[in-house]
Structure 1
């Protein structure tokens, strides 16, 4: 099946969503080529708009990120971080029996940012670390401010 795409303007820039086989597979910054409005892409855009309007705190969309088994474990963990909270790379590493550096690598390869909230993952002690989307750390900070995020830990 073809990959279908659609774009929308958000407070963190233009986002393009890509769908394949009825699942979101990629979210990228920038305008996609002429897009197609499928029911899933319309719903994804509606949920993102609600998120940016502070009316949605949890996405409910079929996602299919392409990656290694380790990356998928990390991305699954990131989806468990509640809206407005943050975990550290170490929190996730401890939970999946991995190393924090490997978790950081998987975060950087997340193909579906925001929907899989890698912006909610911080370095040790709450240190603001890299972000691969938008304007990098500035975009990460903007998303966390919008969520009124507080530092939390997985294993309280």
Structure 2
């Protein structure tokens, strides 16, 4: 979840217990989700219907406890390996976790490579990298192992 994505590129945002969640879409698919501390700059009137609908579903899940919003129209940009990891993340049911090692064995890879792909996930929440934990604890989230991001990961795991 690199921070170098221009905030003005998001088409919709909603306020959640995690902070602001901003959504970007392209060609009818979600391409980016970012958790922010402040409301991002958004385009003027009209907006994007898909981004607005995704925000509504995320807001309902995070604020009201509705079911996790499984969406099929996801188009994360990444390497072939990252795509394989992200597909495996989508197979982890809400409320369950897998370790980096378990996913690595499933993908014939290494835990560190799986962690790297999780860290680069451009669509967190919808591609549930928060469901991947270390064998001896929480692991990391968004490239961090303490602070706000780990609080978010723990909140998400408890919420599910």
Question: Normalising by structure 1, what TM-score?
Answer: 0.85
Q: 2:157 maps to which residue?
A: 144
2:53 to 19, 40, 43: 43
Q: Distance in 1 between matches of 2:22 and 2:80?
A: 25
Residue 95 of structure 1: SS of its match in structure 2?
helix
Question: Per the alignment, do residues 4 and 10 of structure 1 end up closer, same or farther by CA in structure 2, a change over 3 Å counting?
Answer: closer
Question: Secondary structure at 2:11's aligned position in 1?
Answer: strand
**1:21 corresponds to:** 27
Gaps (5+ residues) in structure 1?
148-156
Structure 2 unaligned blocks of 5 or more = 1-8
Moved over 4 A (4+): none
Q: What is aligned with 1:84?
A: 95
CA–CA separation in structure 2 for the residues paired with 1:22 and 1:55: 23
TM-score in terms of structure 2 length? 0.83
The 1-side partners of 2:32 and 2:135 are apart by: 28
Answer with 52-61 or 114-123: which moved more: 52-61
Task: Give, in angstroms, the shift of residue 57 of structure 1.
Answer: 2.8
Partner of 2:77: 66
Corresponding residue for 1:34? 42
Q: 1:143 to 1:4 in 2, by over 3 A?
A: closer
Aligned match of 1:152: none
